[in-house]
Structure 1
């Protein structure tokens, strides 16, 4: 006979499992041991994923290729290191190939260039002024990091943010003790340019690091640090306007909120920025691991200088959450904790429940709680959109070294989260891209041909999604551009032709490679890569 207490436990366990199963979204394990806890993650145009940790922390759990080792007499732990601190993952097979990184990439920044190469800048120790490049290749080829020797940053950059610009160059904003910006390549031989706003946004626990940088369709930058934001003319180094302060305390590192610019659409005359979550001020200074995280979000029309923040609350307080633009324009908020702050062993109460933010709904109805993970993703975790519509979840190492016997151990597993739009019952409305050009030119017209099992009802969207550099709760360079399209015209055998207009210029979509998705009633196709130029 079952005791009452045991029966209660069984019923509670069944209730939890049923509750989890009833929530939207599914999880899968891509690899049980990547060998590397990915602090920085980026998806390449070859559908591979670059994983990047840091050096100077002792060995990882992934060996370099035979005959390769990193020798550094200044390394405080391991002078001769034959373990990898970067790797490239094929998410379709789970196969990993180690990459060779020489200098310390701890808390560095990055962004893809127009040619598809990943430019990676700064870090700690010997990496603070370093510029590195990774030119991705097919999975059957061998490509690796190139640490540039003929150029370096003008100023050391640690906790900086990179953003590709309309002309294909890159701006690098801020960093610890760096109240300046600079460009790659350097402009007219000028190095760092003073940017006093970052000094204004600094407080006693910093809170101005990894600033949120969004390129607006008017060509200016929306830059947010701490609890304030400015509209910045980077060409003339002029602050054009200052926005109202966002209520609810600091939002940047180490207070660890997140930010996203919502999908650009229509005539691209508006841009909406959302900032969510963050720690209580003082949690970092006091090392308060149980200080409740903030659950508030602010939303602002960034191209209206007189606009104010519209406030709303998430179902959970959250620090270190990642905001991922989904192909249909919704936003996934995932990873993080409900208490503490960013920093080594300074957070608790992992927030296992993802949220779906639906921008088109009214305040109070925008958030949907999704199916939770069983894997805590704390400090140094990442989230990236994959071309098949899933979201890759990697990393989490809240310790200075790799540590596997802690309450929240170093995490080497890599997972994928599938939003509700990938449910099996929606497969008959999921479009398949049959034909599209490899390149599209600004302002030009082009056709996309899709196949759908059920007849198309309404407009099939064609959307461009960038491949950002995800690190420390912010995806640098993330954007989604909804193209102007015609109604889908049947061509026979379940295929449809959609006439599309490319973005007007680099202010809307900087030059480079994008994932092109066809979206039918909110359900995205598997993306094809196109080059916008």
Structure 2
């Protein structure tokens, strides 16, 4: 059977399934493999760092010391930087704002070098960006997002800076919503806070990052529900109290290869849930390199999963269908994990990757019997310096890939990639549109522990049957909060998802549905910031609405 004929059959079977479900309330699941679309063939820059704002605009950010991009600064503006290595006067943009609704790109102005830097959104939606290389190594930059038609841009602080230079560090927002911890970096086995918690505060040593020979750059830093930090570097991990600096526990070593840069695995904090009082936190670490700096070394297949809040934590090991280095791990609205981008051999670094991993891999977090599924492939290699981010409509935005010191388009295995793509996971297939919810009433602001009325509609309005005395809405409808992380180098800083408590509220003779949703209990579980608020109906998410969590 040809692929095209198979898809015709698939659509016919799917249509029949929808009709059957309409009349008989069958709980049917139709599998398919997702789809790809090029959004912008040439965005002008190759995004090394990417973040989604609460306006559904996307901050694209590259390094500055890279020579000309293909996106000029507007109105003849140029950047005069005495410390620039390529050209002291540069009239090209190295950051941009992408409108994910209209697929347009607006140049942004960045002054100091952001090469391999870090960042995260804080409570009011401001993107705080730290470090980099050369003249940017101690810099702190901020961007207050705006609508796509606005003129917001980067502002670099002239009154504060990092205590030490940080290149390849990681950031995590703390429970106050205003303070970030900045961990590690090249030749920086320490951490510090932005902003400083007290005048003159400096840096704090972290032995986990001081072991010689470790691939400990871009460490994985996760805020867990007790307010402490899980920090992972290479194969080892600790639990750190960020207030006192005490190391509360050391976790078992993860077997196998190295995971952090340049081995380039990836990691996520699996969704936190009201079902266990938000008290159970699990970390998933997948991929990496068996030997760094070798183009022939196969990437690792292994994944380690550990309940870091357990009294007796142990790594549960599983293997992906294919090895992957430089893969990004994205929490989907369904609670599953998408592993996307990267290569099957080599590691991070200029010219080291080989054999691109064109197929995303779906990790079913709650289904060990069907844990991994390879999905539809792209044709665009996304290797070193590529990114992946969840959009509010459920698509995954793919950007970047530049495995060269400068923008290089010819006579190379992997040309500098300027396109922006979107991957639509299986739940976005049109066969599920009859279940897709549209949120029409929701709280713009949530405070901890409070209850809120949420109203949504679905095209398929038949009421679920009562079975065994239970209302099926309780089983079908989920409410999720997903943060907007800062993605770079196969790691999404600050990524977290929460499954909220929902209670169905019946309406008579209405096409809409009401549910009561309970906000997260405290700022350890959900630091104050903007989140994408998803309703997932029978496993099918609709477009998210942006919600701010406040104290």
Q: Could you tell me which of 435, 444, 462 is aligned with 2:479?
A: 462
2:185 pairs with 1:175? yes
Structure 2: how far apart are the matches of 1:251 and 1:352?
20
Deviation string, structure 1 residues 485-524 (Cα, Å, up to 9, x no partner): 1125235432111101110111000001101000011111
Structure 1 residues 108-257: aligned runs within 5 Å? 108-168=117-177, 169-189=179-199, 190-200=201-211, 202-203=212-213, 206-257=214-265
2:384 pairs with 1:379? yes
Q: Could you tell me which of 277, 284, 291 is aligned with 2:287?
A: 277
What TM-score does the superposition give when structure 2 sets the normalisation length?
A: 0.91
CA RMSD, aligned part only?
1.7
Structure 1: how far apart are the matches of 2:478 and 2:115?
39
Q: CA deviation at 1:236?
A: 0.6
Structure 1: how far apart are the matches of 2:367 and 2:173?
30
Structure 2: how far apart are the matches of 1:191 and 1:448?
45
Show the counterpart of 1:334. 340
Show the counterpart of 2:469. none
2:57 pairs with 1:48? yes
Q: CA deviation at 1:306?
A: 1.6
2:426 pairs with 1:420? yes
Deviation string, structure 1 residues 438-497 (Cα, Å, up to 9, x no partner): 101011111111111223543311110000000000000000011111125235432111
Q: CA deviation at 1:326?
A: 0.5
What TM-score does the superposition give when structure 1 sets the normalisation length?
A: 0.94
Q: Could you tell me which of 266, 269, 277 is aligned with 1:258?
A: 266
Q: CA deviation at 1:154?
A: 0.7
Query: Contact (CA 8 Å) 1:23, 1:369: kept in 2 or not?
Result: no
Aligned pair in 2 of structure 1 residues 435, 15: CA closer, same or farther (>3 Å)? Answer: closer
SS at match of 1:66: helix
How many residue pairs align between the two structures? 513
Structure 2: how far apart are the matches of 1:236 and 1:508?
19
SS at match of 1:487: strand
Structure 2: how far apart are the matches of 1:83 and 1:244?
48
Q: Could you tell me which of 31, 35, 43 is aligned with 1:26?
A: 35
Aligned pair in 2 of structure 1 residues 16, 518: CA closer, same or farther (>3 Å)? Answer: closer
SS at match of 1:294: coil
Aligned pair in 2 of structure 1 residues 289, 217: CA closer, same or farther (>3 Å)? Answer: same
Query: Contact (CA 8 Å) 1:324, 1:333: kept in 2 or not?
Result: yes
Q: CA deviation at 1:197?
A: 1.6
Show the counterpart of 1:268. 278
Structure 1: how far apart are the matches of 2:504 and 2:284?
31
Query: Contact (CA 8 Å) 2:288, 2:299: kept in 1 or not?
Result: yes
Structure 2: how far apart are the matches of 1:447 and 1:473?
37
Deviation string, structure 1 residues 413-435 (Cα, Å, up to 9, x no partner): 10000011011010010110010
Query: Contact (CA 8 Å) 1:243, 1:306: kept in 2 or not?
Result: no
Unaligned stretches of 5+ in structure 2?
Answer: 11-30, 465-471
Q: Could you tell me which of 387, 394, 397 is aligned with 1:392?
A: 397
Aligned pair in 2 of structure 1 residues 492, 381: CA closer, same or farther (>3 Å)? Answer: farther
Aligned pair in 2 of structure 1 residues 490, 64: CA closer, same or farther (>3 Å)? Answer: same
Show the counterpart of 2:515. 498
Unaligned stretches of 5+ in structure 1?
Answer: 1-10
